[in-house]
């Protein structure tokens, strides 16, 4: 297994309340030239967690950080006008908490970050440092 020192959180940059699947993301990412979906886990609006790229494989989700990270994405992140917004449903928040705990157990040396800590982006549209590193 590759070394994992970061768990990086993302949003799908899709509008609040709109439902998308790992298959949709896989299509988008292939269209951008990726081999397959770039995230390792995707959290749907209902809080269900779905597998993307296998964790043993380097993801395609955060430039410069992919080799040693796991990428997690929740569906949402934009308001109805397409502006950045924390659109996580209570089910998604609970599922993210549980998934992050599981990943930290699996990779004890890993710390949790938001994509926006490595790139000039709003993603994942909430303060990961405040929620997961304090």
Which residues sit at the interface with Zn ion, rule CB under 5 A? 10, 115, 123
Residue placing its CB nearer to Zn ion in the complex, 10 or 40: 10
From 50, 104, 111, 121, the catalytic residue? 121
- Residue that the structure tokens 């886990």 belong to: 41
Residue placing its CB nearer to Zn ion in the complex, 64 or 108: 64
Task: Return d(Cα 66, Cα 53) in angstroms, integer.
Answer: 12
From 15, 115, 125, 132, the catalytic residue? 115
CB of 115 to Zn ion, least distance (A): 3
CB of 10 to Zn ion, least distance (A): 3
- Tell me if residue 62 is catalytic: no
């Amino acid at each position: 297994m590759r070394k994992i020192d970061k768990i990086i959180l993302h949003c799908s940059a899709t509008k609040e309340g709109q439902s998308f699947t790992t298959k949709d993301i896989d299509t988008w990412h292939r269209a951008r030239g990726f081999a397959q979906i770039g995230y390792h886990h995707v959290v749907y609006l209902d809080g269900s967690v779905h597998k993307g790229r296998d964790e043993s494989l380097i993801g395609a989700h955060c430039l410069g950080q992919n080799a040693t990270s796991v990428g997690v994405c929740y569906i949402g992140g934009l308001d109805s006008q397409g502006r950045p917004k924390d659109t996580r449903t209570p089910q998604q928040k609970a599922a993210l908490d549980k998934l992050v705990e599981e990943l930290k157990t699996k990779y004890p040396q890993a710390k949790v970050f938001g994509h926006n800590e490595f790139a000039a982006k709003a993603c994942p549209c909430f303060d990961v440092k405040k929620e997961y590193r304090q």
